Structure 1
Amino acid sequence: MSPAPPAESMEVAVVGCGVVGATAAVELAEAGADVTVFEAGDVASGASGRAAGICYDAFADSLDAEIAAEALETFRERDAITDCPYVWLARAGDDRSAAAMAEHVPRMQKQGRDVEFIAPADLDARWPALRTDDIERAAIAHDAGFVDTGNYTRETAQFAVAAGADLRAETPARLDERGRVNGEAFDAVVVAAGAQTPRLVAAAGLPIPVKAYRVQAFLSAETPLSAAVPMCYDATGSYYLRPRGGGLFVGDGTVPEAADPTDWNRRADEWFVEECADYLQQAIGQTVPERRSWAGLCTATPDGDPLVGERAPGIYVATGFQGHGFMRGPAIGKRLARAVLGESASPAFDPNRFAPDEDFDIVEGMTLEE
């Protein structure tokens, strides 16, 4: 591919105004590119607006840790994150998760992450609302917090507009085999449309091995216990917990089956809501009534890492985040913009590393197997 033209003469389409797309749009517009953002619905109406907002840098892999740390720095620069430790734990009898934790925590520490094991008694002393009597092993990441994902994404989109981007909300995008968007030609096209990305680029003759799957979330009624718990991932129960809006947010409810991103159930399943009540009983010793529940879509790839970068000359993608998209979104969006501008090679996570039609089983992203 020939070198990218100067930013001031580039016309770039960004398809999808979630956190990655909005961030890329800001960076491109501020660099002088003529940016048009196509968003099928309202800003943050997709995965970014439905995300849990749990953010941390506790990854064993060096690249994952680096990207997560960059994103945390951006959240703090924007004063968008509420600091809150992130605890993950394995309960008695779950030898596999306990062993995975024993392996990964030292690797995280080697990456310079502020992570350490914590005794159940110390957990109990710090957060007495948590039940700790059956915890086999626990660890804590101190550099962590949560973000209002919808507000952050909408604010980022406003920054893009202020920098000169043309934001076209309620405007579904269509790509054709010439790489045009809704019939318009651009020097580069960035497709960061979450679960819709595979369908959009396939229409341009560029299929990618990404599958969408449903995950679910439960938000409790307000409770004083919301201020008495950390963010927490229960590896044994495969649930995560965090304070949110005066209530308790419980998430996962993964359905490891391919979902049609154009026709899927946005309501939480009854079994999931019932299991959340059981989980809260186990986690804090009592149930809390439901305020509301919902489902969202995550995207999976054959190896659990995203596809980010140039899929074909002038066509860039960012998808397949396995539930870790928002927490890495600011860093991924910035890296993607630099690649479009020719300031760096395409980011890691080469979208061409698999055969386009490679088949694979969906594996949930929230695990200790990282």
Structure 2
Amino acid sequence: MSEHYDHVVIGGGVMGLAAAWQLAARGRSVVLLERFAPGHTRGASHGATRNMNNAYDDALYLDLYDEALGLWNELAETSGERLLTLCGLVTHGDQAVVTAAHDALAARGAATELIDAEAAAARWPGMRFSGRVLVNRDAGRIHSATALEVFAAEARRLGADLRFEHRVTAIAAAADGVVVTGVAADGEPFRIEAGGAVVAAGAWSRELLRDLVALPALRVTEEHPAHFTPQPSLREPGAEAWWPSFNHVRTAPSAGPSVGAVYGMLTPGEGVKVGFHAVGDEVDPDARRFRAPDLARAALREYVAEWFPGLDPDTAAEISCTYTSTESGRFVLDRVGPITVAAGFSGHGFKFAPAIGRVLADAALGVAFPPEPFRLAAH
């Protein structure tokens, strides 16, 4: 026997939850189906912190950032939970990238400045810097685990039905929408009919959409940032509060063959997260190692030893997550018939989640298509 909803959302990571929240807020009946338990570690949305990073020179992302910042603050006020800590963001390294981001932000009147490496090291003595340093004050970190809980709670409060441990096995187009079938944790099959589906399935996007949507190439990699313990001199009460979030955009001559851009932020109670961006091995999301290769571990340790005098490089507490990346790094946001697609967030999507939830709801309801550069034809 089928159940009937206006919309079915497939995927209960941050993007699926944001879409369910937005659709429910517009009075639609919504069911969300997530293959794993809440807070699981199999995808890309788990963990306590993410960068709230506005170091972009592209107006598309900066517009999305400004919208997301406003929505994060609204969610925090509505829920009573702290979702952001705007402790600042520092970006250094490739001077062309740093300058372009600064100029784009300054043109918008953003709270930003450029300082030299010596001044930055004096301000943040636990870090080393290369070249001029971009400082953004309307940036910092997201309390990402709390954010997932708030999206879920708000979606439920607005009437959405969130079902975890419900694995979707097939999506089929129907005359008046879609039919979604699968199996619940207790082995019981389910069948749901809906006017449309939002598919935000991360590393499993291609598997679910294979016969329905012509996706661009999506590369699924396993990434391994780690938390590092501050040195004793930076463990005094209140000392951790000064850690900004950071980006190090390494230029080709200084970056080793397995080392790309570097990012990170403080995770209170866990240390400072440091990670190489998008350098992991390509994987089957159902057959991961959940462990970095020894060479990658050694490279991260060496990087921390060189660039973070305020961290103990021998204290790495490794994390494992997936990136699902497009060749360009741009997201895939589009609607094809009754199916709205959200995929390929390429390791930099979380901060935009509330705004992306709005974009997906607009597309699913036929209010507006997503911005052209995110649509399938642009990839």
- Structure 2 length normalisation: TM-score? 0.82
Distance 1:347 1:13 in 2: 22
- Which of 264, 271, 277 is equivalent to 1:241? 264
Q: In the alignment, is the contact (CA less than 8 A) between 2:302 and 2:313 conserved in 1?
A: no
1:337 paired with 2:340, answer no
Q: Deviations over 1:275-329 (max 9, x none)?
A: 232222222325344252022111211322111020x211001111111110111
Q: In the alignment, is the contact (CA less than 8 A) between 1:38 and 1:173 conserved in 2?
A: yes
Task: Report the equivalent of 1:150.
Answer: 145
Q: Deviations over 1:208-254 (max 9, x none)?
A: 43221222110123652644432121222522232112411111263
Distance 1:64 1:307 in 2: 13
Taking only aligned residues, the RMSD between alpha carbons, in angstroms, comes to: 2.3
- Which of 315, 318, 327 is equivalent to 1:302? 327
- Which of 109, 124, 144 is equivalent to 1:127? 124
1:37 paired with 2:32, answer yes
Q: In the alignment, is the contact (CA less than 8 A) between 2:48 and 2:146 conserved in 1?
A: no
Q: Deviations over 1:38-72 (max 9, x none)?
A: 00112342211148510122321111101011112
- Which of 190, 213, 220 is equivalent to 2:198? 190
In structure 2, the CA distance between the partners of 1:51 and 1:314, relative to structure 1 (3 Å rule), is farther
In structure 2, the CA distance between the partners of 1:120 and 1:304, relative to structure 1 (3 Å rule), is same
Q: 5+ unaligned residues in a row in structure 2: which ranges?
A: 77-81, 182-190, 256-260
Distance 1:129 1:205 in 2: 48
Q: In the alignment, is the contact (CA less than 8 A) between 1:14 and 1:189 conserved in 2?
A: yes
**Structure 1 residue 256, shift from structure 2 partner:** 5.5
- Structure 1 length normalisation: TM-score? 0.84
- Which of 50, 61, 67 is equivalent to 2:58? 61
Distance 2:149 2:84 in 1: 15
**Structure 1 residue 343, shift from structure 2 partner:** 2.6
Distance 1:195 1:341 in 2: 25
Q: In the alignment, is the contact (CA less than 8 A) between 1:188 and 1:340 conserved in 2?
A: yes
In structure 2, the CA distance between the partners of 1:226 and 1:208, relative to structure 1 (3 Å rule), is same
Trace 1:26-175 onto structure 2 (pairs within 5 A): 26-45=21-40, 46-50=43-47, 52-77=49-74, 78=76, 79-90=82-93, 97-132=94-129, 135-175=130-170
**Structure 1 residue 76, shift from structure 2 partner:** 2.4
In structure 2, the CA distance between the partners of 1:13 and 1:331, relative to structure 1 (3 Å rule), is same
**Structure 1 residue 191, shift from structure 2 partner:** 0.4
What SS does the aligned partner of 2:127 have?
A: coil
Distance 1:325 1:122 in 2: 31
**Structure 1 residue 163, shift from structure 2 partner:** 1.3
Trace 1:285-300 onto structure 2 (pairs within 5 A): 285=309, 287-290=312-315, 292-300=317-325
Identity across matched positions, percent: 27
Q: In the alignment, is the contact (CA less than 8 A) between 1:47 and 1:296 conserved in 2?
A: yes
Q: In the alignment, is the contact (CA less than 8 A) between 1:253 and 1:272 conserved in 2?
A: no
In structure 2, the CA distance between the partners of 1:252 and 1:66, relative to structure 1 (3 Å rule), is same
Q: In the alignment, is the contact (CA less than 8 A) between 1:58 and 1:115 conserved in 2?
A: no
Q: In the alignment, is the contact (CA less than 8 A) between 1:56 and 1:145 conserved in 2?
A: yes
Q: In the alignment, is the contact (CA less than 8 A) between 2:57 and 2:104 conserved in 1?
A: yes
1:282 paired with 2:290, answer no
What SS does the aligned partner of 1:185 have?
A: strand
In structure 2, the CA distance between the partners of 1:109 and 1:205, relative to structure 1 (3 Å rule), is closer
Q: 5+ unaligned residues in a row in structure 1: which ranges?
A: 1-8, 91-96, 356-370
Task: Report the equivalent of 2:186.
Answer: none
Aligned length: 338
Moved more, 73-82 or 59-68: 73-82
**Structure 1 residue 264, shift from structure 2 partner:** 2.1
**Structure 1 residue 144, shift from structure 2 partner:** 0.3
